[in-house]
Amino acid sequence: MTPEEFRAHAHELVDWMADYMAGVEQYPVRPRTAPGEIAAKLPGAAPESGEPMADILADFERDILPGMTHWQHPSFFAYFPANSSPPSVLAEMLTATLAAQCMLWQTSPAATEMETRMMAWLRDMLSLPDHFLGVIQDSATSATLAALLIARERATGWRANEDGLAALGAEGTRLTVYVSEEAHSSIEKTMKVAGYGKANLRRIATDEAFAMRPEALARTIANDIADGATPACVVASIGGTGVGAMDPIAPIGEICQTHGIWLHVDAAWAGSALILPEWRHLADGVELADSFVFNPHKWLLTNFDCSAFYVADPSALERTLSLVPEYLRSRESGRVTDYQNWSVPLGRRFRALKLWFVIRSYGVEGLREILRRHIALASDLFDEVSGTPGFEIMSPLRLALFSFRCHPEGMNDEDALDALNRTLIERLNDSGSVYLTQNLVRDRFAIRFSIGQTSTQQRHVRQAWELIKETAESLSKTF
Ligand SMILES: *Cc1c(COP(=O)(O)O)cnc(C)c1O
């Protein structure tokens, strides 16, 4: 493709992108695609000779787009948002064009130095401690993996990297990790990967507000020590995925300090809300943490992937992950930050650029306004659902998330209620007008309502609620 051909196609695509953004509401939020349906439209083998771009674009619209879930649809209320924004997309166009590998300072000095500065901007926007230093990871899972690896090294006297799993099993060095019952599945996954073994994960009981009980944590740690285990890490959540559980960081941090345990804070979703002074208290005690992660790619208008990982002591991170063969040495080694030493993958995209575009384009106050709008919309809907007969709140409002179920008067068989709500959510999602996801709350089926798409306005929430009421009413009659 010549630069002139590229220019023509790019202009055409930019028009397509702007039309998509303006018209995304015309698509069903979640497609009704059957498994294998899209694969059946794709040729079984790669073409031997090149095809015209016009054909490729036409096939994209005809065959691929109908199989997409539209995460940027304003009626997307599922999971957590992965919100994006026009400035973020513009920056990604530049990142893709430069196509730089930003693993070392030398392989793109501007990318490294901008990453350092953007991590400092974000740290200050969230009022995280001044001594936290950050690095961008692809996902919170990768950041949590890095934290568990450092905790493993620290707890084994830096021997596990040398001696392998033998360092974890020998003479009472069975390493244990602590999370609440509400913690994200990524922690269990990273424990498997980091060699701890799932059996050494301790799930600490939560209180009636779904927060980890510090006294139960202290008791479990004491029992494990008495049993000859070595507690290595506690992962506390600010905003768990199921119900947005908020663990009390300060008392958990004090317990960790007493025993020399690594404290990692998972704020993947809710971390973005710490830019709001009125919510910063959710992170009280974070100065006791050894590491902290949040995802600008969830709720800070920066498209996937961009996960901000902070450590109080980068030398421990580098000691765990750094490996510098001759071909990665440079004249500046030791005098500059080579971010490949701060993450598991060697290769790194220029992800700081989209943060720079987003933060400059909206300004911190502009970002605050959008998050406040989401929280206010969720709060209004929460009040509405609470006051509507035939509905029951299943978990309290946490920022822009709560869960509920349809509970017709007089219907008290729990299994029937589960079945009713399971059918309800499928009907709602199959309608294409909204997308919601479910959760088990204290073992009962609940529907999560999570607001955070960049362009979601009051009318989208109102329409969703009207649809939920109508669908629930007609279903209740048949149950
Ligand atoms: C989304 C989420 C994760 C996982 O984030 P990825 O970036 O997809 O790895 C971890 N913890 C919590 C609380 C989350 O909400």
Task: Give 256-315 as a DSSP string.
Answer: HHHHT-EEEEE-TTGGGGGGSGGGGGGGTTGGG-SEEEE-HHHHSS--SS-EEEEES-HH
Instruction: Pull the structure tokens for residue 83.
Output: 């919100």
Ligand 1 centroid to residue 126 C-alpha, Å = 18
Best mutation site among 266, 303, 401 for ligand 1 pocket (most ligand atoms within 8 Å of CB): 266
CA distances from 10 to 5, 269, 357 (A): 8, 33, 20
Does residue 452 have its Cβ closer than 6 Å to ligand 1?
no
Spatial contact of 344 and 142, defined as CB atoms under 8 Å apart: yes
Q: Angle between the 249-259 and 214-226 helix axes, to the nearest 10 degrees? A: 20
The order of strands in the sheet holding 307-311 is 133-137, 307-311, 291-294, 262-266, 230-237, 175-180, 201-204
Measured CA to CA, the distance from residue 288 to residue 275 in angstroms comes to: 19
Residues 446, 420: Cα–Cα separation, whole Å:
11
CB 156 less than 6 A from any atom of ligand 1:
no
Residue nearest to atom 5 of ligand 1 (CA): 140
The answer to whether the bond into 305 is cis (omega within 30° of 0) is yes
C-alpha 321/C-alpha 424 separation (Å) is 47
How large is the greatest C-alpha to C-alpha distance in the chain, in angstroms? 75
pLDDT at 227: 92
- In angstroms, what is the span from residue 292 Cα to ligand 1's centroid? 12
β-pairing, 291-294 vs 307-311, is: antiparallel
**Of the candidates 142, 164, 138, 141, which has an alpha carbon nearest to the alpha carbon of residue 153?**
164
pLDDT of residue 334: 80
Is ligand 1 within 6 A of the CB of residue 403?
Answer: no
Residue 129, burial from CB neighbour count under 10 angstroms (0-12, 13-18, 19+): middle
Give how far Cα 336 sits from Cα of 104, 109, 110, 138, Å: 9, 9, 12, 22
343 contacts 305 by C-beta, under 8 angstroms: no
Is ligand 1 within 6 A of the CB of residue 139?
yes
Nearest to 445 by CA among 469, 414, 474: 414
Q: Which burial class, exposed, middle or buried, applies to 113 when counting CB atoms under 10 A from its CB (0-12, 13-18, 19+)?
A: middle
237 close to ligand 1 (CB < 6 Angstrom): yes
pLDDT of residue 260: 96
C-alpha 343/C-alpha 268 separation (Å) is 17
Q: Using CA positions, which residue lies closest to atom 4 of ligand 1?
A: 140
* Cα 477 to ligand 1 centroid, rounded to whole Å: 38
Contacts of 370 (CB under 8 A, 6+ apart): 301, 362, 454
Residue-wise pLDDT tens for the chain (479 aa)?
999 999 999 999 999 999 999 999 999 999 989 999 999 999 999 999 999 999 999 999 999 999 999 999 999 999 999 999 999 999 999 999 999 999 999 999 999 999 999 999 999 999 999 999 999 999 999 999 999 999 999 999 998 999 888 777 655 578 999 999 999 889 999 999 999 988 999 999 999 999 999 999 999 999 999 999 999 999 999 999 999 999 999 999 999 999 999 999 999 999 999 999 999 999 999 999 999 999 999 999 999 999 999 999 999 999 999 887 777 788 887 889 999 999 999 999 999 999 999 999 999 999 999 999 999 999 999 999 999 999 999 999 999 999 999 999 999 999 999 999 999 999 999 999 999 999 999 999 999 999 999 999 999 999 999 999 999 999 988 87
Percent helix, percent strand, percent coil in the chain, to nearest 5: 50, 15, 35
Q: Rounded to two decimals, what is the model's pTM?
A: 0.96
- 352 and 136 Cβ atoms separated by less than 8 Å: yes
Answer yes or no: are the C-beta atoms of 437 and 448 closer than 8 Å: yes
